[in-house]
Amino acid sequence: MQILLLLLAAAGLCWGQYNPNTVPKRTSIVHLFEWRWQDIAEECERYLAPNGFGGVQVSPPNENIVITNPNRPWWERYQPISYKICTRSGNEEQFKDMVKRCNNVGVRIYVDAVVNHMCGAAGGSGTHSTCGSHFNAGNRDFPAVPYSGWDFNDGKCHTGSGEIERYDDIYQVRDCRLSGLLDLALEKDYVRSKVAEYMNHLIDIGVAGFRIDAAKHMWPGDIRAFLDKLHDLNTQWFSAGTKPFIYQEVIDLGGEPIKGSEYFGNGRVTEFKYGAKLGTVLRKWNGEKMAYLKNWGEGWGFVPSDRALVFVDNHDNQRGHGAGGSSILTFWDARLYKMAVGFMLAHPYGLTRVMSSYRWPRNFQNGKDVNDWVGPPSNSDGSTKAVTINPDTTCGNDWVCEHRWRQIRNMVIFRNVVDGEPFSNWWDNGSNQVAFGRGNKGFIIFNNDNWNMNVNVQTGLPAGTYCDVISGQKENNKCTGKQVFVSGDGKANFQINTDAEDPFIAIHVDAKL
């Protein structure tokens, strides 16, 4: 019996790293990319909690270099100067207020932790940083941490340039500089302790977990070493002994020696193949069809579901960076994008993250968007604009707010309703009309063919009249969009024309009249 208890205790310790620490029946998180802390606090209270969102991934909260050529790009946030909480999203007091207010309504905060590196080697010196801390990149001197030349991997990298030159060499990928960024020597206990000190400060404030940026560029054992130094979560909002949720950015599309599976011992990994493959299928490239999605998930060579964090797009690849190339669907392709996010939120595979973006002036030259660097909507002084809410609940000031699109919000609710239910009642026409259920709680059907659909299929749902949550929803016991009638045998008729605004329909038991 004692051995069993010890095994259960060990399993409990381990599981904390994979569990997002959300409140029950809140199953998706949203990345509010580049939002200000005060806007996130308000969004948690007015929108995320009432609509069942589990948590928010926030942009890196620590001090970064201020780059003025180009003018304040989004990626300056990925060039740390110190671990002070001080960025264009706000200061430490505003960060604490956000964490408290979001936790108080059951919405968790996950920090994007940039701990592989500091700023670029060409970052110069001075105080051009978001808190005004002094640094000298050339001398590897970051006194606000403090880090010195002893704390970087310059001597360990064996390329002539000091940069990663080949991705088939795991030593280069993990010991050399990524895009010129000064690579921290994470095998040193001092560096691990400084990273853990930063993360523990955030845990003590009340964050629920971390996205580990550039995890592929760190040795899994070095990540494990600083994770082992982390505190349990703040007992004001979490039960005693709760471990922070960890998900690691590991771009593994299958063509390189470094595998996402090497990082499972630390937490979940970002499954980049998910958005790349789903985009290819919905665009019908390379002869791909939605009918092939029947064994979606591990059957497509993805990591195990309980180790995966999945997304249609992220802040990198929606700009053509990162992974997936031109197959990635984004808000610029709104009709297909809503189908992709709808499919992701209905399907049981992985822990789902919804993207929430801002618009930028795209400018393609030779197939590349030369404006892919543009930072968040800003005032003339470089400060980030507030997220304003329009009368129709969309966002203003060039914030896209995909998480507020009716179709996406209602599918976040759908996923909560069907949580724990099995994948069931798959149907397809051999082409791009497919449907599936989640036990006896929900059902979704798509028409991505070039001809109209009119089919009778088994939903697995109890008999009754349901509101389609894509074209509308249930309000005051009426449907604001389409209605679906499920007969006593569980079957329903679905008609989706090719010119439908959204060529899919979703129903669930909480949207039954």
What is the Cα Rg of the chain in Å?
23
Phi, psi values for residue 118, rounded to 5°: -110, -155
As a whole number of angstroms, the distance between CA 403 and CA 24 comes to 20
Residue 213 a catalytic site member:
yes
Written as six digits, the tokens of 480 are 């604001």
Cα-based angle 252, 258, 263 (whole degrees, multiple of 5): 85
Catalytic-role residue among 249, 271, 449, 502: 249
Q: Which helix H or strand E contains 120, and what residues bound it? A: strand 117-120
Sign of the alpha-carbon torsion through 358, 363, 368, 370: negative
Residues making up the chain, counted from first to last: 513
Catalytic-role residue among 213, 252, 316, 372: 213
Phi, psi values for residue 455, rounded to 5°: -135, 155
Residue 306 a catalytic site member:
no
User: Which of 412, 319, 330 minimizes the C-alpha distance to 30?
Assistant: 412
Phi, psi values for residue 342, rounded to 5°: -60, -45
Hey, what's the torsion of the CAs at 40, 42, 47, 53, to 10 degrees?
40
Contacts of 57 (CB under 8 A, 6+ apart): 29, 30, 31, 32, 110, 112, 211, 353
DSSP 177: B
Label the pairing between strands 433-438 and 442-447. antiparallel
As a whole number of angstroms, the distance between CA 89 and CA 70 comes to 19
Question: Distance from CA of residue 210 to its chain's centroid?
Answer: 11
As a whole number of angstroms, the distance between CA 93 and CA 417 comes to 36
Written as six digits, the tokens of 332 are 């610029």
Q: By three-state DSSP, how is residue 65 classified?
A: strand
Q: By three-state DSSP, how is residue 513 classified?
A: coil
DSSP 462: P
Contacts of 3 (CB under 8 A, 6+ apart): none
Q: By three-state DSSP, how is residue 317 classified?
A: helix
As a whole number of angstroms, the distance between CA 67 and CA 83 comes to 18
Written as six digits, the tokens of 386 are 């507030």
Give catalytic residues, as residue numbers.
213, 249
